[in-house]
Amino acid sequence: MRLYMKLAWRNIFRNKRRTFIAGSAIGIGLASLIFVDAIVLGMEENMIHSATASFLGEGQIHRDGFRTTFDVESTIIGSEKVTAKLEAQPVVEYFAPRLLSFAMISSPANVSGVTIVGIDPDREREISQIDEAVIEGTYLDTNSARSIVIGDKLADLMEVELGDRVVLTASHAHGGELSQEMFRVSGIFHMAVDGMDKGMVFISLGKAQQMLNLAGEVHEIALKFNNAEIGHNEQASFWTTYSTDGNEAVGWATLMPQMKAALDFGQFSTLIVGLILFAVVSLGIINTLFMSLYERMFEFGVMRAVGTQPFAMGRLIVFEAGALAAVSCVLGIILGLVVTYVFTRIGIDYTGIEYVGVTFRELLYPVMQLKQYVLYPVAVFLLTMVVGLYPASYAARMNAAKAMRRSF
Amino acid sequence: MNADNDHKVIIAEGVTKEYSDNGLPVMALRGIDLTIEQGEFAAIVGPSGSGKTTFLNVVSGLDSITEGSVRLDGKLLSTMSGRELSDYRRDRIGFIFQAYNLIPVLTVEENVEYIMLLQGIDKKERHRRVRDLLAQLGLDGMADRLPSRLSGGQQQRVAVARAIVSRPALVLADEPTANLDSKTALDLIDMMRRLNEESGVTFVFSTHDSMIMARARRLIVLKDGRIDRDEAQA
C-alpha cells in the first residue's frame, strides 16, 4: 500500500505543469463552491435578518385564524396572561404587542386604504426598525396619542408633510360602527418595501385600542429570541407551548413561506452549482489521468510484466487521483479561504434590492463555516478517487505486451 | 555450463501467434518447438519482425498464443489464471527490456527492491540483497540515485539487478543491449554470463548484434516466425 502511495505521489509531479493546471482547475472549482456556499449562507442570514429585524420579528403569536381572516375581533385570547408568560420566558429577548386593522386614511388631497398598526413605541424599537427607517420627523412618542408615522410613498400619495393632519376611519370591533380619528403626521419612514411604504401607518397602541374598541387587546405579539435558532426551527418546543388556548405561535419561516422557499432554492442552487462543477472537474480529472496513463504505457507494461497484479495497477491510478485531489484541495481551500475572507471584510452591496418581499438593508457578508473547508474538500477528494476508477479499470485490464507494443 | 538437462525451464510446442496490426493479420510465430534447459545462456537472434519479442512475450505469459502450448517449469501456461501468471512472473521470471526498464520516480534501490516488495520480503532482507547485488554489479554509491541520473549502461545494469534480485529460475531479456554502445553492450552481456555461471540462472535474450551473439552458448535463429537454426556455441 505504502509503495503505491509513494509511487502515486511522485508520479503526479512528473509533469508539474499538467498537475498544476489540473490541480488549479479542481482547486478553482472547489474554491467556487466554497465561495458560492458562503454567499448563499450570507444571503440567507441577510434576508432573514432583513425580514425579521425590519418588522416581522423572529416569530409571532396570534389568535388561530387571524393570519388568514385578519378579522379585527380575532385578538389573542388571554393576551395579558400570554404577555406575562413571555416576560418570564428566558429564551425571549424582546416582544412587542401590536393591534392591526384595515382602515381608510384621508387627507385634503386624497384617500387611501391602509393597515393601521398600533404599537408600543418603546417595545417596538427593540423588535423592528421602524424607528431607524424614519427619514423625516420623529418616531412615535408614547405620550402623544395623536401622532402618526406613515410611509414616504403614502405621504406623496396623500400629499401631506410633517405636521399635516390626516384622518383614519376604521370599524369598531364588536358592532362594526365606524370610528374616525384625526392625527398629525409626526414622522415619515422609508422601509424600501412597497407594501409598507404605501400601505402601513403606525399609531400608539393605546390609541389604536381605543379607536377599535379593543381595550387591553392585541392582535399580534412579535418576538425576538436570545437564540435565533428558535426562529428557524419550526419544531422548537416554544411554538407548541404558546400554540394553546386558541392561539398560535409560529416562526418566520411559517410567516414568510415565500422567503423560506427562496432560501431552500438557494441551497438547491448551491447543490446544482456543485454538481455542475464536479461534472466539469471529473472530466478534467479523467482527461489528466488518461493522458498520464498513455504517456506511461511502456512503464505500465513493465510493471505488469514483473508481476504487479492488475488490482495493484488500478490501485496506483486511484492513488494518483487521490494525490491530485489532495494537491487540488489544498489549492482550493487556500483560494476559497482568501477570496471568501476578503469579501467577509468588504461585503457585497445588494442594499435596496427587494427579493421575495424582503429588501436587503445591509451589505451582504459571505458566511464562512467549517463544513465548507472540511465537507466540500472531502467530497472533492472522494469524488476524484471515484472518478479515478475509470482510468484505473483501464490500467488494470491492460495487456502488458500490447501496452509495450503501443508505446513505440 | 550449469545446465541441468533433467530440468526443462521452457517447453514450447507448436507455438503459433497471430495478431492483428491495423486490421491486417500478422503471423508472428509459426509452429515453434523449443526447449530451454535450466542454466542455459541462450540467444534468440534474427532480423526485425522475425518474432523474437513475440516469442519472449508468449513464453513468459505476457501475451497469449493462438495455437500450441507453452510449459514453464512444467506448468502449462494456458491453464494458469491471470493472477497466477502475475505471481509466477514475479517469483520465477526476471525481465530486462531494451529501454525504459526502470520506474523513473523510484531510486535505484527502490527499483531493485520493487519485486521483493511485491513478494512481501522483509525490509532487512531486501536491503541486504539490494546492497550486495549493487556492489556485485558495480553500482556502489548509486542506490539513492534516480534512473535519470544514470547512464544507459548503468540503467541496464540496474535492470539486471532487478531481474535477478528475487532469484528467479529464468531471466528473459528483450534486446537488452539495443540502446548501448558496443563496449557497454559487451560489458553487460559479460556480466549476465558471469551471473549465469555463478548462480545458475537461466538467461534467454534476444539480439541482432553479432558481437553479442558470439557470447551466447546457444544460438536460436528465428526467421519469419520459424526456427531457422538452433545450435550450441563454444
Task: Please state which of the ranges A43-57, A195-209, B30-44, B59-73 shows the lowest mean pLDDT.
Answer: A43-57
* CB distance B207 to B186 below 8 Å: no
CATH of domain B4-232: 3.40.50.300
pLDDT number for residue A406: 56
Rounded CA separation B70/A210 (Å): 109
Rounded CA separation A147/A188 (Å): 11
ipTM: 0.85
Range picked from A10-24, A105-119, B63-77, B97-111 for highest mean pLDDT: A105-119
Asked if pLDDT for residue B3 goes beyond 80, the answer is no
Chain A environment of B162 (Cβ under 8 Å): 306
State the cell numbers at A366.
Answer: 459571505
pLDDT number for residue A220: 96
Q: Do A299 and B100 touch (CB under 8 A)?
A: yes
User: In chain A, whose CA is at the least distance from the CA of B105?
Assistant: A10
pLDDT number for residue A225: 92
| Average pLDDT of the residues in A142-147 | 82
* CB distance A226 to A92 below 8 Å: yes
A47-63, pLDDT tens digit by residue? 888 888 888 899 999 99
A201-237, pLDDT tens digit by residue? 999 999 999 999 999 999 999 999 998 888 888 888 8
| Mean per-residue pLDDT of chain A | 89
A65-99, pLDDT tens digit by residue? 999 999 999 999 999 999 999 999 999 999 999 99
A178-206, pLDDT tens digit by residue? 899 999 999 999 988 888 999 999 999 99
With cell 445588494, the residue in question is A350
Q: Do A401 and B62 touch (CB under 8 A)?
A: yes
Confidence of residue B1 (pLDDT cuts 50, 70, 90): very low
| Average pLDDT of the residues in B200-219 | 89
pLDDT number for residue A230: 86
* CB distance B32 to B193 below 8 Å: no
User: In chain B, whose CA is at the least distance from the CA of A301?
Assistant: B62
pLDDT number for residue A407: 45
Q: Do A304 and B95 touch (CB under 8 A)?
A: no
Indicate the residue of A299, A399, A401 with minimum beta-carbon distance to B103: A299
pLDDT number for residue A315: 92
| Average pLDDT of the residues in B166-189 | 86
Indicate the residue of A10, A306, A401 with minimum beta-carbon distance to B57: A401
Rounded CA separation A311/B122 (Å): 22
pLDDT number for residue B4: 44
Range picked from A238-247, B131-140, B172-181 for highest mean pLDDT: A238-247
pLDDT number for residue B6: 55
Please indicate if any CB of chain A lies within 8 Å of the CB of B95: yes
pLDDT number for residue A264: 82
Q: Between A208 and A398, name the one with better pLDDT.
A: A208
How close is the nearest chain A Cα to the Cα of B64, in Å? 9
Helix (H) or strand (E) holding B185, with range, is: helix B182-199
A315-364, pLDDT tens digit by residue? 999 999 999 999 999 999 999 999 999 999 999 998 878 777 777 878 89
pLDDT number for residue A255: 86
Chain A environment of B62 (Cβ under 8 Å): 304-305, 399-401
| Mean per-residue pLDDT of chain B | 88
Q: Do B87 and A307 touch (CB under 8 A)?
A: yes
Percent of chain A whose predicted confidence (pLDDT) is above 70: 99
Q: Do B86 and A309 touch (CB under 8 A)?
A: yes
Number of Cβ pairs < 8 A linking chain A and chain B: 64
Burial class (CB in 10 A: 0-12, 13-18, 19+), A36: buried
Rounded CA separation B114/A294 (Å): 22
pLDDT number for residue A191: 87
Strands, E, within chain B: which ranges? 4-21, 24-38, 41-45, 67-72, 75-76, 93-96, 170-174, 202-207, 218-223, 226-232
pLDDT number for residue A167: 96
